[in-house]
Amino acid sequence: MDKYTKPNFCGLPTAAELREALIASEGSDVRVQLGMLFDEGTFVETSAFTKRGVSEFITTERASELEGVICGYGAIDGKLVFAFAEDASRMGGAIDERHAKKICDLYKLAQSNGAPVIGIFNSSGTDIFEGTGALAAYGRIMSAVSRASGVIPQIAFVAGKCIGTSAAIASMFDIVIKASSAELYVSSPALTGKDGAQDPVVAFSGAVEQCAGYVRSLISFLPSNSSVGVQCSDICTDNLNRKLGSIDFGGDALSAVSVICDAGMFYELSRDFAPEVTTVFTTIGGVKCGIVATSYAKNEGRINTAAARKISKFVNLCDSFSVPVVTLVDSLGLAIDSANEDLFAPELSKLAFAYANSTCPKVTVILGHAIGAAFVLLGSKSLGADIVYALDDSEIGALPADSGVAFAWDKYITEEKTREELIAEWKENVSSPVAAASSGEIDDIINTNELRARICSALLMLSAKGCASAVANRKVLPL
């Protein structure tokens, strides 16, 4: 072509046409979802006029179609947050090179500003007409998510279809929220015969409105980035020294959690996955923290592969953003089940790594039982806990008292000395909290009445380095 020949730009849409296409999407589901997430009128779109890549397979009337992902930033409870949202009304939300570029550009902005990212997933998959270029788009998005991991909070909101490699990308996020009507799978349930196979990665599921509210709550709770440190409020709306009386938790983790948290408020994650373990975000004494609690009432609080995976992922998340971890232990140890064995050792090793490698403040309380591996793996001093308490009626040891007697003291059973009496002696002398404290593995033996006050004290002490001014100027509101 002669260098003085004017190029033909007739194939490009005008700015007016692009704006018309943008306005046409204003009522789409994804726009409504963004409106639920962000404070009213604060969402600002970036790269708004990016249109789909040119291909000979695109029909003429769809050549000006806008790219199938909306990116931008706004405020949630006044906090800067970035978001990308796949828009099924454009290209079916199909992923291609420009789709990935918009998301990667958004991540650069989010990381440079130290702000969280929310990803709304609703895509039919890749644009097959782009071939390897579209496949590489997945890799670029994965790289962006990976680089941001542990630096800024990332929440995946699965609002529609999230299938194949997209499901893997969503699972890379810190927290996954799924609408009840959404689809999240790698291989279709029609082929595998298993529906909801990916539900274990889901922290919360419900109606779209409920999911949006849950995401907003998490964003408000979590720090904007990993450099923020422990978050302390200078005003605690609950009494730091509130006594609990002689309450009996009945081996139920949520009962314990609800009386320890400030005003009984908390956000539970992955409630239906590994119900032997409860994981929540909450505030105790004005300090934002995470709680791991085992329920003796559910399978004696025993740790299986699912429970180990749930705990290790949660502890790692807390550690990434300097969220203190409170561990409430009431467990008879490991679950004996052949279904566990294939992955048991690797999952237990990840659990040990999570506690041992974490540098966030860690407070552990043995509420009832801490038997065998449960004592070691669930936030013991040997794995790096800063403070460990035990209730005065707790049982701590290598074996439960009845098993210990059967193993070592069976020969002492006589007409004068019954098994029940030997079990009582075992609990008093071998597996008592006093025996554990004498070895230096327990900092103090406390009673239920002072449980909340002692946890508050420990958290404030451990968080002082990160928020000394907040601690020094603490104000407790009258009850």
Mean pLDDT of 453-474: 71
CATH of 15-221, one of 3.40.50.300, 3.90.226.10, 3.30.300.30, 3.90.79.10: 3.90.226.10
> What's residue 430's pLDDT?
76
Structural element, H or E, at residue 446: strand 444-446
- Name residue 83's beta-bridge partners: 72, 118
> What's residue 91's pLDDT?
74
> What's residue 470's pLDDT?
40
Domain edges within the chain? 15-221, 235-476
**What mean pLDDT is reported for the chain?**
88
15-221 matches 235-476 in fold? yes
For residues 272 and 203, the answer to whether their CB atoms sit within 8 Å is no
Residue in the block written with tokens 């451990």: 462
- Name residue 259's beta-bridge partners: none
318, 322, 327, 332: CA torsion to nearest 10: 50
Using DSSP's 3-state secondary structure scheme, residue 57 falls into coil
Look at residues 394, 305, 319, 403 and name the one whose alpha carbon lies nearest to residue 351.
305
Look at residues 104, 109, 111, 39 and name the one whose alpha carbon lies nearest to residue 67.
104
Give me 22's structure tokens: 């943008």
Tell me how far apart the alpha carbons of residues 242 and 467 are, in angstroms, rounded to a whole number.
Answer: 23
Is 37 a residue whose pLDDT tops 70? yes
Using DSSP's 3-state secondary structure scheme, residue 398 falls into coil
Q: pLDDT band for position 235 (50/70/90)?
A: confident
8 or 171, which is more confident:
171
Architecture in CATH for domain 235-476: Alpha-Beta Complex (3.90)
Phi/psi-derived region of residue 251, left when phi > 0, alpha when psi is between -120 and 50, beta in every other case: left
Lowest-pLDDT range, 224-228, 302-306, 397-401? 397-401
Is 400 a residue whose pLDDT tops 60? yes
Q: Looking at this protein, which amino acid is placed at residue 59?
A: T
Q: Looking at this protein, which amino acid is placed at residue 427?
A: K
Q: pLDDT band for position 265 (50/70/90)?
A: very high
Tell me how far apart the alpha carbons of residues 150 and 103 are, in angstroms, rounded to a whole number.
Answer: 18
> What's residue 8's pLDDT?
45
Using DSSP's 3-state secondary structure scheme, residue 240 falls into coil
End-to-end CA distance of the chain: 82
For residues 134 and 127, the answer to whether their CB atoms sit within 8 Å is yes
Q: Looking at this protein, which amino acid is placed at residue 305?
A: T
Give me 255's structure tokens: 């009962």
